[in-house]
Amino acid sequence: MRSLMTLLALVFTGSAMGADSGSFQLRDAADLVRVCSVGPDDPAHANAVGFCHGILVGAFRYYESSVTGANRFICAPTPTPTRTKVMNDFLAWAGTHSGNMKDPAIDTLFRYLAEAYPCKG
C-alpha cells in the first residue's frame, strides 16, 4: 500500500491544466477539497469536477487493480455509488475531519473510503 501512496503522490503533486482553467494542484487534502468544491457558477466548474472525478476514480481503480482481495480494506457496495455521490459525501466527511486537511490528498481520500465503504467480515 505504501508504494501505491508514493506513486500517487508523485503523479498528483504536479499540476493538471484544464482547457480554460488555471492549474489544479494537489499538495494536500485541502487542495483536493477546494478543487472538488468549485461551484456551478464558477467558469472552472466543469474542469474542476472532471479533475476531481478523475482523481477519485483513478485512485480507486488503481487500488482495485493492485490490492488483492485478502488485503482490501475498502469494498465498493452494490450498486456502486455515482462519482457525484462519492465526491459530495467525501466533501461532507472532509468538513468534519479538518485535522486531515494538511495530509496528502490520496491518503485522506482513502481514510474517507475506508470509513464509508469498509469490507465486511
Domain ranges of the chain: 2-116
User: pLDDT at residue 49 above 80?
Assistant: yes
Q: What Rg, from alpha-carbon coordinates, does the chain have?
A: 14
Alpha helix segments (H runs only) across the chain: 2-12, 29-36, 45-66, 83-95, 105-116
User: pLDDT at residue 20 above 70?
Assistant: no
Lowest mean pLDDT among 16-20, 70-74, 98-102: 16-20
* Residue 34 amino acid letter: R
Tell me the pTM: 0.80
Please give the Cα distance from 85 to 14 (Å, whole number): 26
For 61-80, the pLDDT digits (tens) are: 999 999 988 899 999 999 99
Please give the Cα distance from 87 to 32 (Å, whole number): 10
C-alpha cell read off for 88: 459530495
Give the pLDDT of residue 121: 63
